[in-house]
Amino acid sequence: MATELEKIADKERQTLIAKNTYNQVGEYDSNNSNALSDGDEKGKGELNGSIGSLTDINTRTANLVKNIYNGDFEYGSTNRNAISDGDEKGKGELNNSVGSKTDIQERNNLIAKNEYNPNFGYGSTNPNAISDGDELGKGEMNGSIGTLTDINTRKSNLVKNVYNDNFAYGSTNPNALSDGDEKGKGELTAGMVGSNTDIQERTKEIAINKYNSSKTYPDF
């Protein structure tokens, strides 16, 4: 005896079967009209050279009508629409011109603004690449490197710098030795290390400290 739930399930299944247009008599396969592209929205298969639903076919037909290229006017390297002949279509080269009309115009505008050309090429010998006292050059000329601002800044810093070829900073320079001023940190005279402040501070701490060389810790 079928339960109430089984009866409901069977009824639902029968309802779905009734809605299904496909059955043993009209199975869905390559021969079924709904599987063929016969001008309706159901079929996607091929029929008489047509593939897809009605929308697919109509869309493809509309695109073919819009397409200016065909067997008599194929798109290729010799097609005028592929050649840069002054319109917006071509990108290929024609008479040394490459790109669409917009490309060519923009390039000509940039060339007009550019001060460098075959007769004034930018390179190591161009005055704009040489450090000759203006703001353009960065290369070396007579020992000067950089723009005018670079050179002037460097000269200004050299004037402020106390160290030079005749007074080089190194281990023997008085400013590197601990000789009682604030500059030196190196050792001059055994046990003297640091600037004047360092030495004085250390001397104060030694005076305060009850331990020293003659009274060491922990022998107090």
Task: Look up residue 29 and give its two tokens.
Answer: 């396969």
Contacts of 154 (CB under 8 A, 6+ apart): 146
- pLDDT at res. 8: 87
Does residue 217 or residue 74 have the better pLDDT?
74
pLDDT at 58 over 80: yes
CA angle 103, 108, 109 (to 5 degrees): 100
Q: H-type helices in 118-185, by residue range?
A: 148-160
**Residues present in the chain in total:** 220
Encode pLDDT of 81-136 as tens digits: 999 999 999 999 998 899 999 999 999 999 999 999 989 999 999 999 999 999 99
- pLDDT at res. 212: 77
Cα separation, 93 vs 109, whole angstroms: 19
pTM: 0.42
Cα separation, 129 vs 144, whole angstroms: 12
pLDDT at 219 over 70: no
Percent of the chain exceeding pLDDT 90 equals 51
